[in-house]
Structure formats: structure tokens, C-alpha cells
Structure 1
Amino acid sequence: MLELRPTCEHCNIALPPNATEARICSYECTFCSTCVETILENVCPNCGGGFVPRPIRPAKNLKGDNFLGQDPASIKVKHRPVDVEAHALFAAGIKHIPPEKR
């Protein structure tokens, strides 16, 4: 199950469980949509993969105890600001390749 990390790893903006601007890669690296679009250029600085919108876990028990009350979001912050210049060099060679072909 996804951790639902509480903040953007780069800018540290809050990304609560219902945040529609949260983006994750396949390793659950978590960034806000602004950082993904303007700084990271859809290239994860940790793995080189792309990003997708993070799913939203139901806040209420709609079926089978599959909700935030049973499986709460993580409170562990992973604030790892990206070295923008180093990332630009890294992303330059792969950002034009669709994530599914990287």
C-alpha cells in the first residue's frame, strides 16, 4: 500500500492524503505538480522514471476497512531538495523519452 508521504521532497509543501497536486514515481518518490512540471520536467531525480498523480485513499470506511482511518498516511517527511543544476544535466538526456520507454 502507498505510504502517502506528507510533503513534496523538493519544496516541502504539504501534500495531505487528499492532495490532487501530489505526484509519485513507481518508487513512491513524492513531489508536488509544480516541482514535477517546472523543475523536474517529469524526470524523477532519484530513479529517472516519470510521475503520475498519486491516488487518493478514501477518508471514510466505504467498504472493507480500506480507508485512512484503518491505513493512515505517513507522517515521515522526506525533504530532499533537488540540486537543480545537477538534475538539469541528468534530465537533459532523457526528458524527451516517454517514461514508459526509459
Structure 2
Amino acid sequence: MLILKPNCECCDVDLKPDSLEARTCSFECTFCKDCAETRFDNICPNCGGELLRRPIRPAKHLIKTPASKDRFVKAHAACADL
């Protein structure tokens, strides 16, 4: 089950569980749409996998299986100007 990370790993913008802006790879590296497209050309800088729109977990299921509250930020060369 996806942990639904709450932020972009590059620019640290908030990404709510229902965000249409969240992008993720098969390892759940998570980025906002802007960083995924403009900084990484939709390729995960961690694993080289494809960054796709993260699926939305229906609100009724967030009660039992909430999104992660742990923030993830990594130092990527493409994020250095932020």
C-alpha cells in the first residue's frame, strides 16, 4: 500500500493525499508535478524509474490508512537552486 508522502522530495511543497500534482515512481519517491516535469523530465533521480501521477486514496479509506506525516527531502543536483 502506498504511504502517500506529504511533500515533494525536491522543493518540499505540500502534497495532500488527494493532490493531482503528486508524481511518484515504483519505489514511492515523490515529487510535485513541476519538479517532476521541469527538473527531472518525469524520470526519478533516485532510481531512474518513470514518474507518474500518484493515485488518490478515497477519503473514506484515509481514516483507517492515513497518509504519512513524515516529510522526505533529498539533496538532488537539480534542486540545488531552490
With structure 1 as the length reference, what TM-score do the two structures score? Answer: 0.74
SS in structure 1 of the partner of residue 37 of structure 2: helix
Residue 12 of structure 2 corresponds to which residue in structure 1? 12
Give CA deviations for 1:37-94 in whole Å, capped at 9, x if unaligned. Answer: 100111111001111110111112xxxxxx0000000001011131129xxxxxxxxx
Residue 68 of structure 2 corresponds to which residue in structure 1? 74
Question: Residues of 1 paired with 2:44 and 2:76: CA distance?
Answer: 10
Amino acid at match of 2:7: T
Question: Residues of 2 paired with 1:8 and 1:84: CA distance?
Answer: 13
Amino acid at match of 1:54: R
SS in structure 2 of the partner of residue 11 of structure 1: coil
Which protein has the larger Cα radius of gyration, Structure 1 or Structure 2? 1
Higher RCO (CA-CA < 8 Å; seq separation 6+):
2
CA RMSD in angstroms, aligned pairs only: 1.2
Question: Residues of 2 paired with 1:45 and 1:2: CA distance?
Answer: 19
Question: Residues of 2 paired with 1:81 and 1:33: CA distance?
Answer: 18
Residue 44 of structure 1 corresponds to which residue in structure 2? 44
With structure 2 as the length reference, what TM-score do the two structures score? Answer: 0.92
Question: Residues of 2 paired with 1:19 and 1:82: CA distance?
Answer: 23
Any unmatched runs of 5+ in structure 1?
Answer: 61-66, 86-102
Any unmatched runs of 5+ in structure 2?
Answer: none
